[in-house]
Structure 1
Amino acid sequence: MLPRDIRYTKLRWLLTFLGLLLYVVDIWTDVGLSIKYLLDGDYICSALTFSFVLVGLLVTQIFSHAWYEDDLEDALINPRGPASVLGMSRGRLVVVHLCGAGIFTRYYHLLKSGFKVVWLGTGSLNEEEKKEAHHRLFCQATDLSMLKLFEAFLESAPQLLVQIYVVQNHGEASVMQYLSMVFSCFNIAWALVDYRRCLRRSLPHIQEMPSGSPTVIYLLYKLCTISSHILSYSLLLILTPYCVIALVAILWLLGTLWSHLLRTNFCSTRIHEMVYRGVVGFILTFTFFNVKGKDTKIAMVAYYFLYTIISMTSPLLLALLRPEVQTATFFIVISGFIFVGTILGMVFLVLYYLRLHPRRKRREADEVDGSGNRAEATGRMSNFLQP
């Protein structure tokens, strides 16, 4: 029997299926809301809502296709040559991704492979082959979780910001707006935890993230900081949309420049690398990630110092420049959420990294043996964003 920490369990398989349902529902609610705006004659909100869905879909298809192409050329992952990967030829890969089905295809293969391993069993395999089968599942799950992370911050996070702003302006919200905001929050939370756990499990030299309090504290730290940041953006939107556009553009440029200066080497082509750095820059406008996989204590402190200034000053700035909102219920409630969320986020951040962050490397006995697994762990995945 394999140790539990290197097994892709039935619970993980069920959570993968649940993640697929959450992804579909999140997209469905956003598309439905876009159609509702269109029927109501609110063309700007309809275009914005739908454009975020398209951007998230487009970027995930680009990287999904690029990673499949990399796997086709990898002699260890695809030893039979560049004919196909997971039964798909180059032509089929192009068609699948042009149809926007890259993530669904990855879900299908992961669920299908996982079903064979965890439900039908691997009794005919020896211990080494079982380790390799489970490790391949974690590698597939990690690729998928990275794409979901891109989608969460390119689609769900800005979507949540726009819907909060619309509700603030109108003073009321429809059922579809509430559904869109709720599932956007769920999608962001799910993407963060799933990505962190899958990535740490797929890298043999790093200890897996423990369940229980470490996962809960990490999630609370991320949700508190991200939600307060989004709410501060929403208040600045009330002041003037151009203010937020300028602020986000500056933060995006700083994040992209930082990725460029760190000389990230995530992609196999220069064009994809430039797109990747742009995506990382946008993610950094909402939350911090370790871009290069190295010690970034100074960078994290600087980032959250700037984040705290933006979050804390946005309610004060709106109150000074728009005095009439000072007594508005929405302003008082959102300002309270921003202040409390920022403080709690910083408390959870310090608590997590001082007490709960897995620091010890995984014991040699727990590592997955075999040159193919080492190649997968030290290749694309070793260059993923480090939480």
Structure 2
Amino acid sequence: MESGTFSRYSWVDFVFSVVGVCTFLMDWGSDVWVATEFYCRGDFSWFGVLVGLMVLSSVVIQMFSWFWFRYDRELPGFSGLAGSGIVFCGDRVRLFCLLHVLQLGFLCRHISAIRQGFRVWWRKEAGSEYAVYLTHDLSMLRLIETFVESAPQLILMIYVMLSTNWARTVQFVSVAASTTSIAWMLVDYHRSLRSFLPDKAKQRWGSSLIYFLWNLLLIGPRVAVLALFSSVLPELTAPHFLLLWLVFLLWAWRQNTDFMDSAGGEWLYRATVGLIWYFSWFNVAEGRTRGRSLIYHSFVSADGAVLMACWWLYRDPVQTEAYTLVLLVALPLSHLLGLLLKALYYCCFHPTLWRPPGSPPPPPHDLPDSDASFRAFSPQDQTPSPQLLNKRMSHLAANFYTHTDVFRKCEAAKSAESSCL
């Protein structure tokens, strides 16, 4: 990709959009199936927890989608909603509000992304930049949906298997569907962030594979340890989560996150980040992340060791004899391997936007996609509007890839350019 230009929408992006909506529907269908099985068997407590997770996830996703709708509709010249393709006339605004109340906003965004992607890729119509805009927003929403719903559901499914000491086919299907959804989200989110780099055309699938593996090897043992702890001390599961979530929420607040465009939206984001940190590391602030990442992984590793020790002390030796030794060896080794792969990724595969100290910031026309070029486009109009800038994924890309204050310099240069216009 050349500097200052957009990432063009390709057939790969279209495939990711189609697979994304398929995994979303498959995950949702498996959740309904499992909930029905729990209800029919009389397991009303598990049924309530599962339905509660589904409702919580849906509400959180709709809130983020609605907040973004409100932000985007205030941008001058933005002819369609990011993620819906709906023009901002009064009747359709009310219609879109109703769709969110009915918990259909996220699905509508998926359908709109596929529709716009088909128009761009297959029918060669205009609007490639707009299609990319939609896929970036969906990537972030899928990330949130994964950690608000899919990861907790994995804990619930494993907990049920451990509690009953056997599993039905539907439970294996649900675990497989949730795992598939998490794995695909990780790859998709990584691709979305990568597309903000000016040299993204040079990126290889090898780095994405390493990124996927170290996340999977860290999240997998984390979920398993939480499920093991819940199987022996279920009454302490909620207090443990609330305590860590409050700590993570305060940490996100102390890092002065600036992801949303309103105070209420920002606190929603911080609360969601706290939930994500309960399972996996997620960078939310600019600058070097090595120190924050080291603190996080040290804390989570110590917490995991305590949870594992609690399970060892309170487990049923007879019932768990078949897999105790395997878990005691496999979980710590998987966690250690995940940390090593993460170190390998950052040493050998992680691209940055680093520039030597004292070097001048890039000119406004040569900024990365995430700053100068990532503007909202009308599907029918290929002329960029300098006032329009999607700050959501660009902030995340800056946090993930930048090791200096280059993005702040770029932002100052961009502001100077806009004032001249």
TM > 0.5: yes
User: Contact 2:35 / 2:50 at 8 angstroms: preserved in 1?
Assistant: yes
Deviates more, 1:373-382 or 1:174-183: 373-382
- The 1-side partners of 2:162 and 2:180 are apart by 21
SS in 1 for 2:21: helix
Identity %: 26
Are 1:192 and 2:171 counterparts? no
Are 1:302 and 2:303 counterparts? no
Deviation at residue 319 of structure 1 after TM alignment:
1.9
Match of 2:210 in 1: 217
User: Contact 2:79 / 2:87 at 8 angstroms: preserved in 1?
Assistant: no
Match of 2:61 in 1: 60
Are 1:149 and 2:107 counterparts? no
Label 1:205 to 1:94 Cα distance change in 2 as closer, same or farther (>3 A): same
Deviations 1:15-58 (A, max 9, x none): 21011011001011011101110000000001111111111111
Deviations 1:213-263 (A, max 9, x none): 111110011011011011111111122123332222122111111111122
Deviation at residue 195 of structure 1 after TM alignment:
1.4
User: Contact 2:375 / 2:390 at 8 angstroms: preserved in 1?
Assistant: no
Label 1:372 to 1:342 Cα distance change in 2 as closer, same or farther (>3 A): closer
Deviation at residue 377 of structure 1 after TM alignment:
5.1
Match of 2:122 in 1: 119
Deviation at residue 350 of structure 1 after TM alignment:
0.6
Are 1:87 and 2:87 counterparts? yes
Are 1:18 and 2:19 counterparts? yes
- The 1-side partners of 2:163 and 2:52 are apart by 21
SS in 2 for 1:324: coil
Match of 2:7 in 1: 6
Match of 1:128 in 2: none
Supply the AA of the counterpart residue of 1:90.
V
- The 2-side partners of 1:36 and 1:294 are apart by 48
2:395 paired residue among 364, 367, 383: 383
Match of 1:227 in 2: 220
Label 1:311 to 1:20 Cα distance change in 2 as closer, same or farther (>3 A): same
- The 2-side partners of 1:241 and 1:171 are apart by 16
Deviates more, 1:136-145 or 1:205-214: 205-214
Label 1:140 to 1:75 Cα distance change in 2 as closer, same or farther (>3 A): same
SS in 1 for 2:282: coil
Are 1:280 and 2:273 counterparts? yes
- The 1-side partners of 2:394 and 2:2 are apart by 24
Deviation at residue 207 of structure 1 after TM alignment:
4.5
Are 1:136 and 2:130 counterparts? yes
SS in 2 for 1:328: coil
RMSD (Å) for aligned C-alpha atoms? 2.9
- The 2-side partners of 1:366 and 1:328 are apart by 59
The answer to which structure has the higher helix fraction is 1
User: Contact 2:75 / 2:388 at 8 angstroms: preserved in 1?
Assistant: no
Supply the AA of the counterpart residue of 2:302.
I
- The 2-side partners of 1:54 and 1:91 are apart by 22
- The 2-side partners of 1:200 and 1:158 are apart by 27
Match of 1:236 in 2: 229
- The 2-side partners of 1:371 and 1:221 are apart by 29
Match of 1:289 in 2: 282
Match of 1:181 in 2: 175
- The 2-side partners of 1:375 and 1:286 are apart by 37
Deviations 1:145-175 (A, max 9, x none): 1111111000000000011011011111111
Deviations 1:52-104 (A, max 9, x none): 1111111101111111111111114349x9xx963362201111111111111
- The 2-side partners of 1:371 and 1:215 are apart by 22
SS in 1 for 2:323: helix
Match of 2:71 in 1: 70
Match of 2:411 in 1: none
- The 1-side partners of 2:396 and 2:163 are apart by 39
Residues 307-326 of structure 1 mapped to structure 2, 5 A cutoff: 307-322=300-315, 324=317
Label 1:264 to 1:360 Cα distance change in 2 as closer, same or farther (>3 A): closer
User: Contact 2:76 / 2:388 at 8 angstroms: preserved in 1?
Assistant: no
- The 1-side partners of 2:100 and 2:226 are apart by 33
Q: TM-score by structure 1 length?
A: 0.88
Deviation at residue 198 of structure 1 after TM alignment:
1.2
Supply the AA of the counterpart residue of 1:192.
L
- The 2-side partners of 1:101 and 1:120 are apart by 27
- The 2-side partners of 1:329 and 1:367 are apart by 54
Deviation at residue 134 of structure 1 after TM alignment:
2.7
Label 1:162 to 1:206 Cα distance change in 2 as closer, same or farther (>3 A): farther
User: Contact 2:374 / 2:389 at 8 angstroms: preserved in 1?
Assistant: no
Match of 2:113 in 1: 110
User: Contact 2:259 / 2:266 at 8 angstroms: preserved in 1?
Assistant: yes
Deviation at residue 199 of structure 1 after TM alignment:
2.9
User: Contact 1:52 / 1:158 at 8 angstroms: preserved in 2?
Assistant: yes
User: Contact 1:56 / 1:155 at 8 angstroms: preserved in 2?
Assistant: yes
Deviates more, 1:339-348 or 1:154-163: 339-348
Deviates more, 1:191-200 or 1:203-212: 203-212
